[in-house]
Amino acid sequence: MAAFFIARLFALVLTSLSGRFSSPAMGNLSTLFGPRLGRAVWRGIVILPPAAGLTWEIVHPQPDHAAEMARKVDALAPERVVVEAWEPEISFLSERTFHNSHQTLR
C-alpha cells in the first residue's frame, strides 16, 4: 500500500516540476523556477543517489568471502580428500575435489 502512495507522490512531483500539472497540494513549482530547472532538479534527485551508491560500492568493494573460504580449504584439506560442500561456488574456486549435496526443500 505504501508503494502506491510513494508512486503517486513521485508522479505529482514530476508533473509539477515539468509544468504539465498544477496540484493544490504540491503547487506549481515550474512557475517559480522554470520547467528546465525543475526537470534538472528532478533528474538530479532521481539519478545522483543511486550513482553515488554505485560509485561507493566500486571504490570500496566488499570482501570476497567465497574466495577466502576456497583458499582456506586448499590450505587445510589434504589433496586426495573429497570435500562435502553445500556451496558450488567454493568447489569452483578451490582446487580440491568436492561433492556438492543437492539442496532440496521437502
Rg (CA), the chain: 26
Q: What is the pLDDT of residue 59?
A: 92
Rounded mean pLDDT of 52-76?
Answer: 89
Predicted structure pTM score: 0.44
In 3D space, the residue among 84, 89, 86 whose CA is nearest the CA of residue 65 turns out to be 89
CA end-to-end span of the chain: 33
| Percent over 70 (pLDDT), the chain | 71
Strand-pair partners of 97: 82
User: Within a 10 A sphere around the Cβ of 89, how many other Cβ atoms?
Assistant: 14
Sign of the CA dihedral running 67, 73, 78, 83: negative
Rounded mean pLDDT of 12-36?
Answer: 59
